[in-house]
């Protein structure tokens, strides 16, 4: 059995004191399996699936509540957002969303929740405590990526067919700027200091880096991999290390994760992972990176310090989203 810090805190503290490196503390990764309607629970120390539980139809985007107690999951084909207990995996409640929710993000204060509803050109703002829609924000065609500035003031949504990053004030819930990027933008993410916004363009094959202060494009990253056609290079997931020095970019059917220097915006290395890699998540200590590989039904695990893929773990069919909880 694995130790659960939350449920037996004394024991948890003892274990924490006994082990020397923080990497040895087990975290838990949760992976949504789009085709199986399940979530795979992975022990990040043993690196194995310890549980698979049923959720709503076509689970995709997955995040943790601020206190870590809730898993918040987009059940796209049920047109709702579901909440599960992150320790017992029991269903708690549903949240209303617009149709076909795909990706979501929480305000840094823990509430409200912002959901991209692909089917009706809206970002829906939901109070997760009251389970109530606060407002809808009109954006471009097929909203998808959701990025939140570290201070919680700016929400960025990408629209896949409009090809824009929409800058939204979380105070007024209105767009105040729109930046055109390459085709089919999928993911938007701020770095931890808030000085860069990264937007991946799946069909365009590029990642655009924007200065959030003036919304000017500061650089565009192209990817070249010998033996891989340009069409197969489709950036989707982006994650940035806590020191803001490296960005990891999932390249879809190119089956690679690129490591990019955030200062020079140059690709330093490509790591071979499973097939059609889409979403990424670091463990809380940045030691490991999990990648969801849709068509090979597995996640690859990257040792961040060594920049090496150390293992792949079989999940359900078409793994899509991933989040890692610090327990």
Partner 1 sequence: MSLAGTRWGLALAILVAAFCVTSATPGLAQTATPDASGEGAESSSPKKDVLTIPIILAREKIDKPLPLSLLDLPPADDGIAGAQLGLKDNNTTGAFVNQEFILDVVEDADPDKLIKDVLAKVEGGAQLIMADVGPDTLVKLADTVAGKDVLIINYGAADDRLREEDCRPQVMHTAPTRAMIADALAQYLVWKKWRRWFLVLGPKKEDKLFADALRRAAKRFGAKIVEERTFTYETGNRRADGGFEQVQQQIPTFTQEAPDYDVLVVADEGNLFGDYLPYRTWDARPVAGTAGLVATSWHPAIEVWGGTQFQNRFKRMANRSMRPLDYNAWMAARIIGEAATRKSSGSYKDLAPFIKSADFELAAFKGVRLTLRDWNGQLRQPVPIVSPKLLVSVSPQPGFLHQFTVLDTLGVDKPETKCAAFTQ
* Residues of this chain that bind partner 1 (CB under 8 A): 99-100, 118-119, 121, 140-142, 159-164, 166, 175, 178, 180, 182-184, 202-205, 229-232, 234, 253
Q: Which is nearer to partner 1, 76 or 262 (CB)?
A: 76
Minimum CB separation from partner 1 for residue 174, in Å? 9
Cβ closest to partner 1, residue 90 vs residue 227: 227
Nearer to partner 1, 97 or 262 (CB): 97
Let me know: does 122 contact 114? Beta carbons within 8 Å: no
**Residue number, 116 or 313, with CB nearest to partner 1:** 116
> Distance from first CA to last CA of the chain, Å, rounded?
14
Shortest gap between Cβ of 184 and partner 1 (angstroms)?
A: 4
The β-bridge relationship of strands 246-250 and 288-293 is: unpaired
Q: Which is nearer to partner 1, 169 or 195 (CB)?
A: 169
d(CA 161, CA 111) in angstroms, rounded, equals 29
What are residue 209's DSSP bridge partners? 198, 219
Which residues, 6 or more positions from 8, have their beta carbon under 8 angstroms from its beta carbon? Answer: none
Q: Which is nearer to partner 1, 15 or 203 (CB)?
A: 203
Least distance to partner 1, CB of residue 135, Å: 15
Q: For tokens 């990025």, what's the residue?
A: 147
**Quick one: tokens of 97?**
């969303």
Is the N-terminal amide bond of 288 cis, ω within 30° of 0?
no
CB of 163 to partner 1, least distance (A): 7
User: CA 88 from chain center: how many Å?
Assistant: 22
DSSP string, 306-319: TTEEEEEEE-SSSE
Which residue, 123 or 304, is less far from partner 1 as judged by CB? 123
User: Which class for 212: exposed (0-12), middle (13-18), buried (19 or more C-beta within 10 A)?
Assistant: buried
312's tokens? 């792949």
């Amino acid at each position: 059995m694995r130790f659960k810090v939350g449920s037996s805190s004394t024991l948890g503290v003892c274990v924490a004191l006994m082990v020397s490196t923080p990497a040895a503390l087990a975290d838990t990764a949760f992976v949504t399996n789009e085709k199986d309607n399940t979530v795979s629970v992975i022990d990040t120390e043993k690196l194995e699936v310890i549980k698979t539980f049923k959720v709503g139809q076509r689970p995709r985007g997955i995040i943790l509540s601020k206190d870590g107690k809730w898993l918040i999951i987009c059940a796209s084909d049920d047109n709702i957002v579901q909440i599960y207990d992150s320790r017992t995996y029991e269903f708690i409640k549903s949240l209303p969303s617009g149709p076909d929710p795909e990706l979501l993000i929480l305000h840094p204060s823990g509430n409200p929740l912002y959901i991209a509803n692909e089917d009706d050109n809206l970002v829906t703002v939901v109070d997760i405590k009251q389970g109530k829609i606060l407002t809808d924000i009109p954006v471009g065609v097929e909203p998808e990526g959701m990025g939140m500035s570290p201070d919680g003031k700016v929400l960025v949504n990408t629209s896949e067919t409009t090809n824009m990053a929409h800058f939204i004030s979380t105070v007024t819930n209105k767009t105040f700027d729109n930046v055109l990027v390459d085709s089919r933008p999928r993911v938007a993410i701020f770095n931890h200091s808030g000085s860069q916004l990264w937007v991946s363009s799946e069909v365009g094959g590029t990642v655009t880096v924007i200065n959030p202060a003036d919304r000017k494009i500061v650089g565009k990253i192209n990817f070249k991999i010998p033996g891989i056609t340009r069409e197969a290079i489709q950036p989707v997931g982006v994650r940035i290390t806590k020191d803001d020095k490296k960005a990891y970019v999932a390249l879809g059917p190119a089956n690679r994760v690129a490591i990019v220097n955030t200062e020079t915006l140059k690709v330093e290395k490509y790591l071979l992972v499973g097939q059609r890699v889409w979403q990424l998540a670091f463990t809380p200590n940045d030691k490991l990176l999990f990648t969801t590989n849709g068509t090979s039904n597995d996640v690859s695990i990257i040792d961040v310090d060594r920049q090496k893929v150390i293992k792949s773990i079989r999940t359900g069919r078409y793994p899509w989203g991933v989040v890692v909880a610090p327990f």
